[in-house]
A and B are shown apart, each in its own frame.
Chain A
Amino acid sequence: MTASPPASSPPTPRQSFIAQARYVISENVVTFGAFLLFFVFVLFALFGGAIAPYNPLTSNAAVALSPPTLSHWFGTDDLGRDILSRVIVATRLDLGIAVVAVALSFFLGSILGTCAGYFGGWTDRIISRVVDTIMAFPLFILAMGLVAALGNTVENIIYATAIINLPLYTRVIRSEVLTRREAGYIEAARLSGNNNLQIMAFHLFPNVLPVMMVHISLNMGWAILNAAGLSFIGLGVRPPTPEWGIMVAEGATYIISGEWWLAIFPGLILMLAVFCFNLLGDGLRDLIDPRLRT
């Protein structure tokens, strides 16, 4: 139904963005919840130290292994450290690793994927084969290899995660670019005097971005899991640094003896973080894609 748009003057870009955001949030309560949760996580990441009730590193043997109480909402671990505080402070590290890894991956993958999709031919073949090779590596093997070669540091874990995620972005962006490469507005862009770089940067990529928002968000969830998983097996982050994966690893042995809170709470928060990012992806895509406005 192609009724002509209403004759009232269109809102300014800023007005329409806010209106759009309000609309998206109001239409979908779950998205709104995800945004709130995301906000909370960011708060923890930035101000965790100030928010946490106790110092995450201070041990207090007297209250070691005490179950959740009013003074320690998540209980204490084997060294008497408050688990809630450790969980809150750990957000910075987990989120930080995931964000940096995903950003690196996205940046590199965008360049490779756009070039592969746009130029085709040998560029495409070489890039695709390299990416296929990377896909063959399981994350843990790659991480262990890097750690063995370059040392057990957080930086190396970030590189490992970034490399593992590279194929996803490269392939998705490549296929999105392939689809749009023949569109009329790309030809028109050429007629308007854009060279290849300008077409890729100003015409192809901005249209690919909304789709990527969903992938980035889902990938964030996956990257957080990766970071936690690597620390779980002892790579990268070392105790006493609070980190969700380490906490789950350390708490795993205590589950059998009945002290379930050491592993469960970090695990729950981890799950919540992944869940939040998954939901965020859909909401973000609605916000950014102008076709869904009006």
Chain B
Amino acid sequence: MSNPQSITQTPQPKVNPLSGGVAAGRGRSLASSPSSLLSLRNLSLEFRTRTGTVRALENISLQINPGETVGIVGESGSGKSVLALAIMGLLDPAAHIPSGEILWHSPANQQPKQQTAQQQSATYDLLKASEKNLRQLRGKSLSMIFQTPRTALNPIRKVGKQIVAVLRCHTSLPKRQLKPRALELLASVKIPDPQQRYNAYPYELSGGLCQRIMIALAIACSPNLLIADEPTTGLDVTTQATVMTLLKELATKQQMATVLITHDLALASEYCDRILVMHAGHLIESAPTRTLFNAPAHPYTHKLIAAIPEPHKGLHDLVPILGNLPDLRRQDLPPCRFISRCDLATDKCNNTPLQRQQITADHQVACWHPLGKDQRGMMNDE
């Protein structure tokens, strides 16, 4: 969601002519606020499969600022995991990006190894960066934790060794300091008895412990941005609470921005400052957490919140969202992909390309008929 003020932009710092690079030397100015950490501009992504081209993402624009916790919420098929993989550069070879940019604004002290000391904060387009540069960024400035912790860890290597491997790759710690630092990290993620767990294999540990190990791996080099893709799916509620509290503490302590990708709105509401809602490859709403839950503007967001079981709701208060996601392989997808399930759809929704509407300074929605104040106010009447 680009900040409207930045559209009439002031010239940005010149893009860094990294080897293998970026929009080198062309002096392009980039429409993103200099204070942001990661900006996506009009990113579209498709998968070429044998049954057709799946338009997985369309025109995604958003911005992550340093230190904030942003939630990306959506159901299966909304494209949220694909978005995370696109940012990290971990996409399937069948993925094709027809347009858009992913701009990473690297703070001054976090340069890839080969940079000279003169470089100040620089901006890279991650889509154009070479694999080598991406690898230097990944794990060091930009980190990710995945959904099923036990399968995301290497099953045949001891857990401690995996942490040491990350440290060895991205830091210049001398060899004998690697293990103590790894033990420190294990302690910082509240793993009981770190000495013993250092020598454990992933299969010996519970899901919650594995997830904490993954967090330790991810924060080992104090990244600026951590993407957490459904980090607590499959974990128990009590473990979930512990893991999320831990993430929040680490984020605050290390001034780390966090992107929490989840299908669980309630979870996102507890831990995120801002929430972005995705539906069928579109980013349809973006708002601070309280605003989103008290006064959602997009009909889909409203329905989603209405469908979630809560203590005060009876069974018949849960309103399901009828209909199916559109087939993203279709050539004739309507501009708004929620049309077939929306009560407020009109001809305009069918004919005009979507545009983001600004409801307030920090609340944007991609809808021609966002819910009015009185409709949104319904959320508050319980």
Q: Which of A1-9, A110-118, A280-288 contacts B (4 or more CB under 8 A)?
A: A1-9
> Which residues on the B side are within 8 Å of A6 (C-beta)?
327
In angstroms, Cα B54 to Cα A4, docked, is 12
Q: Enumerate chain A residues within 8 angstroms of B56, measured Cβ to Cβ.
A: 1
On chain A, which size bracket covers the interface? Answer: under 10
Which residues of chain B (308-360) have a CB below 8 Å from chain A?
Answer: 324-329
Which residues of chain B are near A4, meaning CB under 8 Å? 324-325, 327
CA distance A4 to B280 in the complex (A): 11
Closest Cβ of chain B to A49, distance in Å, is 44
Scan B40-58; emit 1 where CB is below 8 A from any A CB, else 0: 0000000100110010100
Task: Give the contact-size bracket for chain B.
Answer: 10 to 19
Residues A1 and B47 in contact, CB atoms below 8 Å apart: yes
Nearest residue in A to B75 (C-beta to C-beta)? Answer: A2
B76 within 8 A of A: yes
- Closest chain-B Cβ to A16's Cβ sits at a distance in Å of 14
Task: Report A294 CB to chain B, min CB distance, Å.
Answer: 7
A22-36 vs B, CB cutoff 8 Å, 1 = contact: the mask equals 000001000000000
Q: Which residues from 214 to 228 on chain B have a C-beta closer than 8 Å to any C-beta of chain A? A: none
Cβ contacts under 8 Å, B77 to chain A: 1-3
**Interface flag for B210 (CB, 8 Å):** no
Q: Cβ of B327 and Cβ of A1 under 8 Å apart?
A: no
Q: Which of B35-79 contact A (CB under 8 A)?
A: 47, 50-51, 54, 56, 76-77
Residue B145 interfacial (CB < 8 Å): no
Beta-carbon contacts of B72-106 to A below 8 Å, as 1s and 0s? 00001100001000000000000000000000000
Asked if A3 contacts B327 (CB within 8 A), the reply is yes
User: How long is the Cα–Cα vector from A2 to B47 in the complex, in angstroms?
Assistant: 12
Q: Is B327 a contact of A2 with CB atoms below 8 Å? A: no
Question: How near does chain B come to A287, taking the closest CB pair, in angstroms?
Answer: 16
- 21 A-B pairs within 8 Å (CB atoms) are namely A1-B47, A1-B54, A1-B56, A1-B77, A1-B328, A2-B76, A2-B77, A2-B325, A3-B54, A3-B325, A3-B326, A3-B327, A3-B328, A3-B329, A4-B324, A4-B325, A4-B327, A5-B327, A6-B327, A27-B50, A294-B51
